[in-house]
């Protein structure tokens, strides 16, 4: 049975791109409470097919696929630059292909204009009109407004005309930063990226017998199974430990674990891997709108982690910036050593190595060391850090790591941060292996 929440989401998805959405309208059309309508709109916004803008309201937008996540809609540009829409609001859902800065002679601008681009310019009305007539949206910087003629053109061509208070350089930097963040996000894998929705979902109902559970274990090879009610909502998990002494004809509701751990499609693979390793799970249910839509297995997680390690990095994270200038060196005793210089980006305002940068180096040295010991994936579970003295900027340091204990599931690594004369910090790192 479809819930009111799901009905609202389906209704919003059916609206044409660019349609305005309001809580009162949805509540009236679908005969639901305004609270229910509000929660559904907020979820639609989180899923990316609805956007809310100041002075415009909530608008149905086209959801970007992961392959096109490096592109922005004009509605997102308004939010990024804290702008005001002066005209052409019907085109806010459109995606911009590139942006052009109008810092050149008017006669030279036309060669750079094309449909779908964004012209960033100050109070040059001739350039604004030329851009709109060429199919380009216009972002006016410096807090200037547009003339009635330019606003009329924007509405006529349905191309956004935006104004913001920032200067041109700052505006372009903000948009570049947003694009850069999206490139980093594109490299992150989520549960929805590896969820195999084409395979049949095997579940149990609370009234099913333990005998049926054993049947499904033989068919699927999975020992953990989600238990769902008549509407498909997750109510429990059943595992061999739960039914160790159970009667074969008894209902699984009597033995199942209630309030089980689950993930959502938007959970990162790294987070799911950590939870599965920490709890010792081979499978976790994937829940959306309280309904079970699939399961993710240990094999799915391992395959995804391998893909993440192989794919090229498009954008740099803070971790990438910290470790990029540190190179692997070979120590006489065979320990793994990362050697590099403390750069200003890695320091505090006082000019010493920041704690975040320090722990990143320690974790990276531990990973390198453990990969030498065993070629499998791992998760850093715990770290005990002792800072002996601050590390000044421009110091060339070594992060030396050696394995203290390598067990079946866990490994312990000692990491030392030092230069040729001083030891700055020591850490004990515990990691857990993720094996098939």
For 40, 49, 93, the CA distances from 52, given in Å and listed in that order, are: 13, 10, 11
pLDDT digits (tens, 9 = 90+) for 208-217: 998 999 988 8
Q: E strand or H helix at 413, and its extent?
A: strand 410-418
Taking a C-beta distance cutoff of 8 angstroms, is the pair 42, 26 a contact?
Answer: no
Does 254 have pLDDT greater than 80?
A: yes
Reported as a pLDDT band with limits 50, 70 and 90, residue 55 is low
User: Could you give phi then psi for residue 221, rounded to 5 degrees?
Assistant: 85, 0
The per-residue pLDDT for 183 is 57
Beta bridge partners of residue 415, listed in sequence order: 401, 427
pLDDT digits (tens, 9 = 90+) for 190-235: 888 778 766 678 888 999 998 999 988 888 877 888 999 888 888 9
- Model confidence at 303, pLDDT cuts 50, 70, 90, reads confident
Catalogue all structural domains in the chain, each as residue range(s) with its CATH number.
Answer: 4-60 (1.10.10.10), 74-187 (3.40.1390.20), 192-307 (3.10.580.10), 318-433 (3.10.129.10)
Quickly state the pLDDT bin for 128 (edges 50, 70, 90).
very high
Q: Give the pLDDT of residue 186.
A: 55
- Supply angle C-alpha 221, 222, 225, rounded to 5: 140
> Residue 321: is its pLDDT beyond 80?
no
Query: Band of the pLDDT at 67, cuts 50, 70, 90?
Result: very low
Facing residues of 352 across strands?
392
What's the chain's Rg over C-alpha atoms?
28
H helix runs in 291-334, sequence order: 298-310, 318-323
Q: Which residue is associated with the tokens 């919003």? A: 12
Question: What local confidence, expressed as pLDDT, does residue 314 receive?
Answer: 46
When pLDDT is cut at 50, 70 and 90, the band that residue 308 belongs to is low
Reported as a single tens digit per residue, the pLDDT across 146-166 is 999 999 999 999 999 999 999
pLDDT of residue 66: 47
Query: Does an H or E element contain 376, and which?
Result: none
Q: pLDDT band for position 381 (50/70/90)?
A: confident
Q: pLDDT band at residue 37, thresholds of 50, 70 and 90?
A: confident
Average pLDDT over all residues of the chain: 82
Alpha carbon of 28 to those of 24, 34, 104, 421: distances in Å? Answer: 6, 9, 52, 74
Beta bridge partners of 379: 432
pLDDT band at 334 (very low <50, low <70, confident <90, very high): low
Percent of residues, the chain, with pLDDT higher than 70: 87
416: pLDDT strictly greater than 90: yes
Could you tell me if residue 209 is left (phi over 0), alpha (psi between -120 and 50 degrees) or otherwise beta?
A: beta
Q: How far is CA 378 from the centre of its chain?
A: 21
- 386/401 Cα distance (integer angstroms): 15
How does residue 368 score in pLDDT terms, banded at 50, 70 and 90? confident
Q: Which of 49-53, 111-115, 209-213 has the highest mean pLDDT?
A: 209-213
Residue 327 pLDDT greater than 70, yes or no: yes
pTM summary value: 0.47
Quick one: pLDDT band at residue 316, thresholds 50, 70, 90? low
Pick the range with the lowest mean pLDDT from 48-52, 103-107, 168-172, 382-386.
48-52
- How far apart are alpha carbons 239 and 394 in whole angstroms? 55
């Amino acid at each position: 049975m479809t819930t009111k929440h799901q009905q609202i989401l389906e209704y919003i998805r059916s609206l044409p791109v660019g349609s305005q959405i309001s809580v009162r309208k949805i509540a009236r059309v679908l005969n639901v409470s305004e609270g229910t309508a509000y929660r559904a709109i907020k979820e639609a916004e989180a899923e990316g097919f609805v956007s809310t803008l100041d002075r415009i309201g909530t608008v149905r937008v086209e959801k970007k696929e992961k392959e096109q996540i490096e592109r922005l809609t004009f509605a997102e540009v308004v939010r990024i630059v804290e702008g005001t829409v002066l005209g052409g609001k019907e085109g806010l859902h459109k995606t911009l292909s590139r942006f052009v800065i109008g810092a050149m002679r008017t006669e030279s601008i036309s060669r750079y204009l094309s449909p779908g681009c964004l012209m960033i310019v100050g109070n040059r009305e001739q350039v604004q009109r030329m851009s709109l007539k060429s199919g380009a949206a216009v972002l006016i910087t410096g807090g200037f407004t547009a003339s009635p003629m330019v606003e009329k053109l924007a509405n006529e061509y349905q191309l956004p005309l935006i104004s913001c208070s920032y200067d041109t350089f700052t505006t372009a930097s903000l948009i570049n930063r947003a694009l850069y963040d999206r490139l980093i996000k594109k490299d992150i894998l989520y549960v929805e990226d590896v969820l195999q929705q084409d395979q049949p979902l095997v579940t149990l109902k609370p009234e099913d017998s333990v005998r049926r559970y054993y049947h499904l274990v033989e068919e699927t090879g999975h020992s953990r199974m989600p238990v769902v009610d008549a509407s498909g909502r997750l109510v429990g998990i059943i595992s061999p430990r739960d039914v160790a002494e159970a009667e074969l004809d008894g209902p699984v509701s009597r033995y199942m674990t209630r309030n089980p751990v689950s993930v959502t499609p938007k959970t990162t693979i790294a987070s799911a891997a950590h939870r599965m390793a920490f709890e010792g799970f081979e499978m976790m249910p994937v829940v959306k709108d309280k309904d079970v839509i699939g399961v993710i297995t240990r094999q799915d997680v391992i395959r995804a982690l391998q893909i993440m390690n192989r794919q090229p990095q498009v954008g740099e994270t803070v971790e990438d910036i910290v470790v990029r200038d540190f190179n692997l060196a070979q120590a006489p005793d065979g320990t793994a050593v990362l050697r590099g210089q403390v750069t200003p980006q890695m320091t505090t305002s006082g000019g010493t190595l920041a704690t975040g940068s320090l722990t990143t180096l320690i974790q990276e040295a531990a990973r390198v060391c453990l990969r030498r010991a065993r070629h499998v994936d791992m998760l850093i579970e715990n770290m005990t850090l002792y800072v002996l003295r601050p590390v000044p900027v421009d110091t060339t340091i070594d992060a030396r790591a050696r394995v203290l204990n390598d067990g079946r599931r866990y490994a312990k690594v000692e990491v030392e941060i030092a230069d040729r004369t001083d030891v700055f910090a020591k850490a004990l790192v515990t990691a857990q292996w993720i094996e098939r």
